[in-house]
C-alpha cells in the first residue's frame, strides 16, 4: 500500500515531463481513489473552444493509474482504458475522479468520472466523460 498523502503522489506526477507541461496536480490520493486536476488554459483547447479530448484522456489515464497504485502499490502500468465523451468540456478546471471497482493481487479495474468545474466560481460540476481502465502491477511476485 502506498502513502495516502497526495504530496507523495504529486512527486511521482511531477517526475513526468508531460504532466508538468499540462500543469496536472493530485488533490486526493489513497484507499483506492485519486483525484487529478488540470486548470483549463487556452493552449489546451481545440478549434471549437472546448478542452481537447486528448487532455481528458490524459487525465483519465493518470487518475486511473494513481487510484490503482494506491491499492496495488506504486509499481503499476495501465494495461488499457476506454473513454466515452458525454459532452464538450467547458469550465475553468478539469477534475478526474477515479476509484477502484475491483482489485486483485496483480490487477485493478478502475472507473473515472471526468468533470469540469464552472467558470463562474459557484463550484458547480458538469460530467464531460466517463472512463474505465485496467491497471497491472509491474512488480515481480517476489517483490509484492
* pLDDT above 70: percentage of residues in the chain: 91
- Split at pLDDT 50, 70, 90, the class of 98 is very high
Mean pLDDT value across residues 40-62: 97
pTM: predicted TM-score of the whole model, two decimal places = 0.91
pLDDT at 2 over 70: no
Mean pLDDT value across residues 15-43: 96
pLDDT score of 140: 64
Q: Which phi and psi (to 5°) does residue 19 adopt?
A: -65, -40
pLDDT at 90 over 70: yes
Least confident of 1-5, 16-20, 95-99, 110-114: 1-5
pLDDT score of 141: 58
Amino acid at each position: 500500500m502506498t502513502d495516502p498523502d497526495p504530496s507523495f503522489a504529486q512527486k511521482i506526477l511531477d517526475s513526468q515531463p508531460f504532466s508538468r507541461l499540462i500543469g496536472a496536480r493530485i488533490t486526493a490520493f489513497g484507499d483506492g481513489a485519486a483525484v487529478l486536476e488540470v486548470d483549463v488554459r487556452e493552449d489546451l483547447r481545440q478549434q471549437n473552444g472546448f478542452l481537447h479530448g486528448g487532455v481528458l484522456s490524459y487525465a483519465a489515464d493518470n487518475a486511473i493509474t494513481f487510484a490503482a497504485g494506491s491499492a496495488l502499490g506504486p509499481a503499476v502500468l495501465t494495461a488499457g482504458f476506454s473513454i466515452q465523451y458525454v459532452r464538450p468540456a467547458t469550465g475553468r478546471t478539469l477534475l478526474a475522479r477515479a476509484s477502484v471497482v475491483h482489485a486483485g493481487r496483480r490487477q485493478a479495474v478502475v472507473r473515472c468520472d471526468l468533470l469540469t468545474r464552472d467558470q463562474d466560481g459557484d463550484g458547480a460540476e458538469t460530467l464531460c466523460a466517463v472512463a474505465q481502465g485496467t491497471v497491472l502491477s509491474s512488480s515481480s511476485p517476489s517483490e509484492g
